Amino acid sequence: MDFNLLVKSKEPRKDTKFAKTLKKAVISSFVILTISTGTVVGTMFYLSNKINTSLAEQEELKKEIVSLENTEQRLVLVKDRLDKIVKVFKQDTAADEVDILEYTVNNLPSGVAIQSIKLSGNHVTVSISAEKSSDITNFIRTHVDSKTYKQIKLISLNFDQERGYGINFRLER
């Protein structure tokens, strides 16, 4: 035989069962809320870090693009210059004119300074200055002896006490 020593008033009521169930539901909801909040905050920090890293990489890429654009512009300018140089040297007269200028400049006697050189067709117009007439003689002798020019024509001869001689020649090939 079973004896129930508890008073009927001490038996758990149905209200307390509901309270226990409600308490379990609240606790499990709080745990789920805490885990969800932690997940959201962690995700926000992770994404914030990713965004900052992406922004830094974007700035680096912008700097690289600017650098590459500058390099490209310089390369285009160099290519353009090279194309023009090739174009000048492809012309038949360009190489000859460069040789003539080089010969004229490299064979200057001392005391003679070139004021201007103009190349046109088969003749060269040279303006020189010299302090002494012997320097002019040496200039003419150098070009006559080289037999580079068929004719050397004196266009003008000026003399100034302060500057010396100013002479214009026309050298014809």
Give yes or no for residue 34 having a pLDDT over 90.
yes
State pLDDT tens for residues 81-105: 999 888 877 766 666 667 777 777 7
Place of tokens 């830094």: 56
Residue 10: how many other CB atoms lie within 10 Å: 8
Quickly state the pLDDT bin for 154 (edges 50, 70, 90).
Answer: confident
Contact present, 125 and 169 (Cβ < 8 Å): yes
Cβ–Cβ under 8 Å, residues 143 and 152: yes
Q: Looking at the predicted structure, is the pLDDT value of residue 127 above 80?
A: yes
pLDDT at 90: 72
Q: Is the pLDDT of residue 35 over 60?
A: yes
Buried b vs exposed e over 24-58: b needs ≥16 C-beta within 10 Å?
eeeeeeeeeeeeeeeeeeeeeeeeeeeeeeeeeee
Q: What is the DSSP letter of 9?
A: G
51 vs 6 pLDDT, higher one: 51
Q: Residue 88 belongs to what H/E stretch?
A: helix 14-90
